[in-house]
Structures are given as C-alpha cells and as structure tokens.
Amino acid sequence: MLHCISLPPGQFGGPFIEQLFCNCLDPREHEYFAEICHLKVSAHFLVRRDGELIQFVPAHKRAWHAGQSLFNNRSNVNDFSIGIELEGIDDCPFEDAQYDTLVQLTDTLMLAYPEIKKPNVVAHSDIAPGRKTDPGDHFDWERYLRQLS
C-alpha cells in the first residue's frame, strides 16, 4: 500500500519521519509534533525524495500504517499488507528517483510474495476512502504500474 508523508507538513528532508516511525519524535522540535508524537505508527519502507530507501519493519511482520481500513472485504489491512511511504505531499509531484526506487522495491516484493499482483497495489486512499487521500493526485499511477515487471 502506498502512502505519502512529510514532517513537518510540506517540508522534505530531516530526521523527523524516521523519528516518528521509531517512536522518538520530540514534540519540542515543531508545534505540529506535539499533536502527533503520541502516535505509534510505522511503515515497512520509506522512499526519500532522492530515492533513498529506508526499511523500518521486516516485510513479513506487521507495521502500523493503514489505520481503520478495508480491502477486498477484509478489515485490519495492517494484518496483510506492506506499507510503503513516499516522502511527499498530496499536491506535489514525486521525483523520478522515487519512482525508480519504488519500482525496484515493488518488483522485489512481488518476487518474494507471489500473492502481490498489480491489482493488489493500492493507495492509502483506496483502503480508507474519505479518511485518507494519499499518495494523492500527483502520484503517476500509469507510469508506476507500466514500469513494474
């Protein structure tokens, strides 16, 4: 499942996304962090703007990225999904390096987990409509899916 995130909102770079996913975000660093520092969230992977790939949770383990969710009539999507965060925001294009890394990662995951097929690669907005909008309208699904093996 694809997501996007930036911390503080709308800003790229810095250590804050990693700190959030490692449960060590300092609420004194930014006023927004006081609102979210109590959250216990994680993703399996983060793809930075420059294409750097960071793994937080082994792909075969549960991460806490989907929240209240439903996919193919199954709830608790965290129980059976892999969460990939793209550093970005809904209303900003993603970088070529991010697409390159995301395609390589997805191809690798599809080889390791044959049940993952293109139709099963979805957005956070697909499994939590009305609650989530990411990765947003600027994510080029056609480009991404065309490049997958």
The SS3 assignment for 116 reads coil
CB burial of 87-106 (b: ≥16 within 10 Å; e: otherwise) equals bbbeeeebbeebbebbbbbb
Residue 78 phi, psi (nearest 5): -55, -30
| C-beta of residue 40 within 8 angstroms of C-beta of residue 23 | yes
The residues carrying an active-site annotation are 85
